[in-house]
Amino acid sequence: MSDQNTHTTTIKDVKQLGTFAAIGSLSYVFWICGGMEMIERLAYYGVRSLSSLYATDSAANGGLGLIESDLGIIFMVWALIQTFVPVLSGGLSDRYGYKETIFASTVIKILGYLLMAFIPTFWGFLFGAAILALGTGIFKPGIQGTIVKSTNRTNSSIAWGVFYQTVNIGAFLGPLISAQLRQLEWQYVFFACAAIISLNFLMLLTYREEDKEERLTYRAKVASGEVKEESLWVDSLRELKNPILLWYVFIFSGFWFMLMAFWDVGPLYFRDWVDTSVMVRDLFGTQGTESSIAIFFLGMAQDGKSINPEGLVNINAGLIMTICFLVTGWSARIRATSSMALGTFLASAALLLIGSFSFVWVMVSAIIIFSFGEMLSSPKCSEYLGNIAPSQKKAMYLGFSQLPIGVGWIAESFLGPYLYGQYSSKDNISRQMLTDAGTDVSNLPIGEAFTKLVEVTGQTAEVLTANMYASHNIGTVWYVMGAVGLITTFGLIVYGKWTYRFAMEIEKEALASA
């Protein structure tokens, strides 16, 4: 069969099973992969969701005391390694085994967490992030390739939604555990995450690679010379010439550029400008709460009177953890590209809403809208690439799924923190106001300028924050990200119509030649 006809059968829409029938059809190995990814995400987001807070927290509080541009450098290196390594490691998983690469990635990730713990400096965090990114880049293709091989076209939409939902159990719990640990000592976060990811060694004992015999047979034919195989680089570049894949990477990069700002910049914005004590008073009264359950699951400060920034961000993971299978069940009724376009539009609208207000309940509403957008878009991209991939290149194509993430995240990882530092950083604005008032700030540590401004002006922190928000263009970074998302929405609509016509034309040609 020609490559052209191969892509015809995979682009076409296939009728999906009902939600619960599809869930019932999922195999044992699917759930093992979900468990391993959940553990990996629990550890990963335990660090990733708090990275911007840790890096910019004052040294007096145990943070690194970095400025936003330094944070951007760390995020850019992190994104570069994590998203481009899978382009090669996906092919390695296909050739040498998924279990082997998952094991190696777990060892590497442990080293990354320990580097962060033992070297609390810019360079320590940078190298730790780079090692962690390397391990993550090796981990993903093996897991996702197994998911593709353990599902089929009739249950793939629900499968990816359930997988995404399972993954977000880890993404939900990780930041909550870290939110409490970091109030004791920042280093406890990294030690805990190293211990958590180690649990995947136990999960690997129960893991079974799908179609292993087929892979080994194919490798034997390669070894004997019966099948000629090119180098991974040549093979990967040839697949990337597929116009459907190439345009997907280009257009969907805009989605990830916009989406990553929520996790990179969101915690800083919520910390600086959103008064979460209002939400606590509305929920529990003026005295807050002493409930340890509420404090943990809402990501609250230990006094029970405010919600930490990661607690607000975690509404996203909580929603995905509980209802993603329902959203993806509905999205199975429409084409993958239509679902991605709708999701991108909702996420973009949410970021524009965040940039326009600072009231905590508006933030909650925006995060809910953003979460629905993510659920409609992100699981679909993995499903889409898995479906268009040739049978012996599933992990390779799932590795390619990191390309648009890489392009978008690398661009955002520098631009997002940079724009925030220029227009929205409370510490930077406070420094400028202190300088304008004749106060020397040259020896004032990073992260302590606002406290000094409160002391100098004599105003309360609440009043001063409101005045600063009203007199500066705080929402600029969100307007930029939201605009990129709207442009991407239009691109996905055009791309969806093009690929549908492309599939229909090739199908007609195939029928005519049959």
Distance CA 384, CA 139 (A): 20
Please give the structure tokens belonging to residue 116: 């962060």
Distance CA 194, CA 117 (A): 10
pLDDT of residue 42: 93
What tens digit of pLDDT does each residue of 197-235 get? 999 999 988 887 766 666 667 667 666 776 676 665 566
Write down the pTM of the prediction: 0.79
Q: Is 104 helix (H, G, I), strand (E, B) or coil?
A: helix
**Alpha-carbon separation of residue 312 from 165, 308, 361, 367, 388 (angstroms):** 18, 7, 10, 8, 36
Closest listed residue to residue 346, CA positions, set 386, 311, 374: 374
Q: What is the 3 state secondary structure string of 40-85?
A: HHHHHHHHHCCHHHHHHCCHHHCCCCCCHHHHHHHHHHHHHHHHHH
131 touches 47 (CB < 8 A): no
Can you spell out the DSSP letters for 229-246? ---HHHHHHHHHT-HHHH
**Alpha-carbon separation of residue 124 from 43, 60, 117, 313, 379 (angstroms):** 18, 18, 8, 26, 33
Which residue in this structure is represented by tokens 């034309």?
505
8-state DSSP, 445: P
Distance CA 114, CA 47 (A): 12
Q: What is the dihedral of CA 212, 218, 223, 226, to 10 degrees?
A: 160
360 touches 279 (CB < 8 A): yes
Q: How far apart are the first and last CA of the chain?
A: 12
309-333 burial by CB neighbour count: b if 16+ within 10 A, else e?
bbbbbbbbbbbbbebbbebbbebbe
What is the Rg, in whole angstroms, of the alpha carbon atoms belonging to the chain? 24
Amino acid at position 7, single letter: H
Please give the structure tokens belonging to residue 136: 């993550």
Look at the chain and count its residues. 514
Distance CA 510, CA 387 (A): 19
Distance CA 423, CA 273 (A): 13
Other C-beta atoms lying within 10 Å of the C-beta of residue 13: 13
480 touches 233 (CB < 8 A): no
pLDDT of residue 4: 39
Distance CA 363, CA 367 (A): 6
User: Using alpha carbons only, what angle is made at residue 244 by residues 137 and 349, rounded to the nearest 5 degrees?
Assistant: 75
Low-confidence residues of the chain, pLDDT below 50? 1-11
8-state DSSP, 300: B
User: Using alpha carbons only, what angle is made at residue 59 by residues 56 and 60, rounded to the nearest 5 degrees?
Assistant: 125
pLDDT of residue 10: 47
pLDDT of residue 309: 92
| φ/ψ of residue 300, rounded to 5 | -90, 160
Distance CA 202, CA 409 (A): 32
Q: Is 389 helix (H, G, I), strand (E, B) or coil?
A: coil
| φ/ψ of residue 378, rounded to 5 | -65, -50
312 touches 271 (CB < 8 A): no
User: Using alpha carbons only, what angle is made at residue 372 by residues 371 and 374, rounded to the nearest 5 degrees?
Assistant: 65
The residues near 470 (Cβ < 8 Å, ≥ 6 apart) are none
49 touches 267 (CB < 8 A): yes
Q: Can you say how many angstroms the Cα of residue 41 is from the centroid of all Cα atoms in its chain?
A: 10
Distance CA 214, CA 55 (A): 47
